[in-house]
Structure 1
């Protein structure tokens, strides 16, 4: 087999068989307007791990069966850089971009905000907010789902957790969405700079005058070794809470609404049998895997036929896991009776499994329960087609829905 010379993530040159090299851009996996999740899934079926020269060169796992192995094995795959292709200057997320044992200590600081009692409080608030949003929308007979609902519910909860003014939500939604999704590197860097300045000011204020919010408690709580968060770590923690609390939940909600608008039979099932919503939520998270999480290779190794080098970046698209028929039977079909639906990696896996996973699931369930009880029959507005958006978090940027207003 002939060889092709490509740069390694660690900066070295090496030869790779052409069969291991693909020109794959996860920020633009398919033609403009195509379904980015389906485009990502087209990687499935070739070599388990392939190399792409995009973004300085990195590996991509294309076999859904081994994605949990990479995500869980921090001794071989470090979390110190989890977002491939991001601009420089971004604060490190806490605890997302630290490995155990540091990760374990940092995660402990957030745990009080995600106890069952705390989650019930946030979920109760989310339900009140969800009802308010839907009841304001229902009489119209139409909405742009992303702007009118999806981005507001999770961001309002994050603002409550951090004790921030609700009027800040519009600019934070814009900064987070652009910083994660825009394919324009300069635009992403510009909004990141604004968001960093906002978060730095927030951390300084919470350090000087702590409140009862999750950030203040984390800043002023001693870790096991008696130390406290440094300013840099506190900035990363706040950045991770704001970004992580908004985008995955809002994006998944939008994919769910898009799907249900086109599948009235399954929509009616959830209306008539709301007890099926919890498992349906897991199934939607599986079918619409929206995370593209990276790791850094710790040491040289042969990994499923790929010659990994220390310093290489490796990408695990959750859509590859969720749509691999070797993991899930008939994966393109949404099946509310799927017994292993929870085996997805949309909210990561292993020690870095999303600390807010229970809250995220609750928000999605609340959306389904409160929306479907008030707007049971809705469809896509054919005059304003959905706008599919690739990126680190593949999404639908615009989703116009319509229904018969009562």
Structure 2
């Protein structure tokens, strides 16, 4: 008998605004559930901590959509081929090529520049007295950082951001496909320019791999890599900054504690990632062969999504998981995933978060919400968890 499903789309705006009570209810009934959404149809949802870790490391679950039942094409929205869409050994090869360029040294060298950008953005915000923190700070900071790291010209950044927003609006499929094609063309031209005239940036370094006879990146792989690094490098960091700031403002005792003791900052960032991580649910995995997970039988070709946000609030792993506490031992959360697909950019995201929070809190002592928290709108995405806006006043 087929398992009954929970219609997540029917839960409405309350689920978008705060999905955690729903995940807690589902988790109390079992670790793995059959669910449905209008956009994706029926699939399996993993909400338990141990089951999430197991799913993220089980080789019978593939990241390659060609293992999905009924797959025919990508609808025109795919840009190249990247690490998120591949399995070993291809994934291993691609990750190795990026990892040898995305080094700790290269990331650490960005620290002074990240601080400078953060200060410039605060300089622009403070005289206004109030601002939307997403638009004025949380988004432009990581966008500037990742574009400088990759070598995207300043004049092209807004266009790229607009294309990305359109390409992920699946309520308008024709516009989404057109934006994806525009991004593909832009990135292809940019990569070609880096091959002709390399500079001291990550795209130039990767472009050199396209000429490596022994272990070269194909054009499709290079396109996919450039797109993944750009998108994953800024929207998730923006969500961390805005959601983390919101959590602090909603918990003034934690805000006061952090301002009084900056040695808590590193752990505070981990608690923000655990409490309201920037990625709510993984991209789909596809069952390569029938398997059991959490007491459920998953058939070949079925889709599986792992709720990182639910696993990071699992009571079997974290005591009082719905309590925001910057002093708790928060490591072990799954905000950056787990296993071979653990986020390669996690060190950069953590650095940007730490710089952003300290800069904001030190330079804006009167920082406060400038709206009723109930009026804030979260992005209606099962995958990414972020605020549309965060109105603040500077006192």
TM-score in same-fold range (> 0.5): yes
SS of residue matched to 2:114: helix
CA shift in 2, pair 1:311/1:33, >3 Å: closer
Q: Which runs of 5+ in 2 are unaligned?
A: none
**Aligned-residue CA RMSD in angstroms?**
2.6
- 1:308 matched residue in structure 2: 298
Deviation sequence 1:327-356 (CA, Å, 0-9, x none): 2111111111212x1211111111111111
* 1:18-29 matches, cutoff 5 A: 18=4, 21-25=5-9
* 1:5-404 matches, cutoff 5 A: 16-18=2-4, 21-25=5-9, 30-31=12-13, 34-38=16-20, 41-42=23-24, 43-54=26-37, 55-73=40-58, 75-81=59-65, 88-180=76-168, 183-221=171-209, 226-291=214-279, 292-293=281-282, 294-339=284-329, 341-382=330-371, 385-391=375-381, 392-404=383-395
Partners of 2:170 and 2:176 within 8 A in 1: yes
Deviation sequence 1:218-246 (CA, Å, 0-9, x none): 23227998131110000000010111001
CA shift in 2, pair 1:36/1:206, >3 Å: farther
| Residues in 2 aligned to 1:185 and 1:58: alpha-carbon distance in whole angstroms | 21
Number of residue pairs the alignment of both structures matches? 383
Partners of 1:271 and 1:376 within 8 A in 2: no
SS of residue matched to 1:45: helix
Deviation sequence 1:189-214 (CA, Å, 0-9, x none): 34323222222222233334433321
Deviates more, 1:136-145 or 1:213-222: 213-222
SS of residue matched to 1:371: helix
| Residues in 1 aligned to 2:370 and 2:353: alpha-carbon distance in whole angstroms | 23
Deviation sequence 1:284-325 (CA, Å, 0-9, x none): 000013322121111112222222122211001111111221
SS of residue matched to 2:243: helix
SS of residue matched to 2:222: helix
Partners of 1:29 and 1:390 within 8 A in 2: no
CA shift in 2, pair 1:177/1:400, >3 Å: same
Deviates more, 1:41-50 or 1:391-400: 41-50
CA shift in 2, pair 1:179/1:342, >3 Å: farther
| Residues in 1 aligned to 2:339 and 2:212: alpha-carbon distance in whole angstroms | 22
Deviation sequence 1:54-84 (CA, Å, 0-9, x none): 31422111212211111122x21112249x9
CA shift in 2, pair 1:180/1:348, >3 Å: farther
Alpha-carbon offset, residue 98 of structure 1? 1.8
| Residues in 2 aligned to 1:239 and 1:260: alpha-carbon distance in whole angstroms | 32
| Residues in 2 aligned to 1:219 and 1:22: alpha-carbon distance in whole angstroms | 46
Alpha-carbon offset, residue 390 of structure 1? 2.0
Partners of 1:90 and 1:192 within 8 A in 2: yes
Partners of 2:142 and 2:237 within 8 A in 1: yes
| Residues in 1 aligned to 2:19 and 2:159: alpha-carbon distance in whole angstroms | 27
| Residues in 2 aligned to 1:53 and 1:70: alpha-carbon distance in whole angstroms | 19
Given the two structures, how large is their TM-score scaled by the length of structure 2? 0.89
Alpha-carbon offset, residue 127 of structure 1? 1.2
Partners of 1:176 and 1:247 within 8 A in 2: no
